[in-house]
Amino acid sequence: MGIKSKVLIIGGTGYIGKRLVKASLQQGHETYVLQRPEIGVDIEKIEMLFSFKMQGAHLVIGSFDDHRSLVEALKKVDVVICAVSGVHIRSHQILLQLKLVDAIKEAGNIKRFLPSEFGTDPARMADAIEPGRVTFDDKMVVRKAIEDAGIPFTYVSANCFAGYMVGGLCQPGYILPSRESVTLFGDGNKKSIFVDEDDIAAYTIKTIDDPRTLNKTLYLRPPANILSQREVVELWENLIGKQLHKTSLSEQEFLNIMKEQDYAEQVGLTHYYHIYYHGCLANFEIGKDAEEASILYPEIKYIKVEDYLKRYL
């Protein structure tokens, strides 16, 4: 066993957060999970928190509205992973994370902070379109606060969560694959990157005490999962033994449809736009100040998209 850390996971009952708790325990870290008083009588969350406790995690009470409680929680650990949500709600996630940065600064003992990123690298999205660019801009504000405060960090660029993207054959509004038809973004040939959510958590936990990823971005690019939408569809067609009827949506048609949606929908669709029309996840080489997860941690046997798709048969 290598060095083990004390890890605090914030947002531990969330979609990616619960997997981070599981991976942290599995990899043998002393795992703490923030228990917010604001969850009140949300029985599902309470049950989940207590199931973490039964598996060996420590629950630590703290609120974003109580700076002292955050500082006290942070003092128990060396590593903090934030997995709060906020994809569509302007200033929600950013405010929470800026409060957290203030608390980390005051606590003064944190050896690594992983903010709530887990998607497209915001540093590469300076030219993203409105209104979806807000999510990238907000994440950059948090990054600046972290770096200005001199807090040691790792940014995890997880690319596409498989559950959201693979199941629906990359189509917005779908999380299950059709056996009849699919709409392709343009020619459907821009490469994207898909990662199983448990694998995202496993890679994330691997990195927390790895000196090679200190103050760097960790990109999750499992090689077999760098695929175009068309390739994902072909894998599904091979599994079901049938060709889907395909239609294509041009870039301009997509933008026109997007403009008719409400703000939150537009923010979400902006991500699809940059991923599937511009290939923003895979159209660059990983440069300096960055590492690639499957190269650093070959021991993680990641789930390939073709195997992931088998759950839908």
List 18, 22, 139, 190, catalytic entry:
139
The nearer residue to ligand NDP, 36 or 243, going by C-beta atoms, is 36
For residues 158 and 266, give the distance between their C-alpha atoms in angstroms, rounded to a whole number.
21
- Is 124 an interacting residue with respect to ligand NDP (CB under 6 A)? no
- Is 188 an interacting residue with respect to ligand NDP (CB under 6 A)? no
- Is 132 an interacting residue with respect to ligand NDP (CB under 6 A)? no
The nearer residue to ligand NDP, 164 or 277, going by C-beta atoms, is 164
List the interface residues with ligand NDP, window 61-80 (CB under 6 A). Answer: 64
For residues 145 and 102, give the distance between their C-alpha atoms in angstroms, rounded to a whole number.
9
| DSSP alpha helix (H) spans, 108-161 | 133-148
Residue whose Cβ sits closest to ligand NDP: 14
Asked whether the CA dihedral 98, 103, 108, 109 is positive or negative, the reply is: negative
- Is 101 an interacting residue with respect to ligand NDP (CB under 6 A)? no
| DSSP alpha helix (H) spans, the chain | 17-26, 43-54, 67-74, 92-107, 133-148, 162-165, 197-207, 229-240, 251-259, 263-276, 293-296, 305-308
The answer to whether the CB of 124 falls within 8 A of the CB of 283 is: no
The DSSP code sequence of 78-96 is SEEEE----SSSTTHHHHH
139 is catalytic: yes
- Is 161 an interacting residue with respect to ligand NDP (CB under 6 A)? yes
- Taking the complex as a whole, how short is the minimal distance between the CB of residue 301 and ligand NDP, in angstroms? 21
- Is 119 an interacting residue with respect to ligand NDP (CB under 6 A)? yes
Q: How far is CA 234 from the centre of its chain?
A: 26
The answer to whether the CB of 167 falls within 8 A of the CB of 177 is: yes
For residues 102 and 244, give the distance between their C-alpha atoms in angstroms, rounded to a whole number.
52
Helix, strand, or coil (residue 121): coil
- Taking the complex as a whole, how short is the minimal distance between the CB of residue 86 and ligand NDP, in angstroms? 6
**Of the ranges 97-105, 114-122, 232-240, 274-282, which one interacts with ligand NDP (CB under 6 A)?**
114-122
For residues 11 and 13, give the distance between their C-alpha atoms in angstroms, rounded to a whole number.
6
- Is 15 an interacting residue with respect to ligand NDP (CB under 6 A)? yes
- Is 225 an interacting residue with respect to ligand NDP (CB under 6 A)? no
The nearer residue to ligand NDP, 4 or 168, going by C-beta atoms, is 168
- Is 17 an interacting residue with respect to ligand NDP (CB under 6 A)? yes
For residues 296 and 292, give the distance between their C-alpha atoms in angstroms, rounded to a whole number.
6
- Is 83 an interacting residue with respect to ligand NDP (CB under 6 A)? yes
- Is 96 an interacting residue with respect to ligand NDP (CB under 6 A)? yes
Contacting residue, 7, 8, 13, 222, with ligand NDP by CB under 6 A: 13
End-to-end CA distance of the chain: 39
- Is 114 an interacting residue with respect to ligand NDP (CB under 6 A)? no
- Tell me the number of residues near ligand NDP by CB under 6 A: 25
- Is 277 an interacting residue with respect to ligand NDP (CB under 6 A)? no
Where in the sequence numbering do the catalytic residues fall? 139
* Interface positions with ligand NDP (CB under 6 A): 11-17, 34, 36, 39, 45, 64, 83-85, 87, 96, 116-119, 158, 160-161, 164
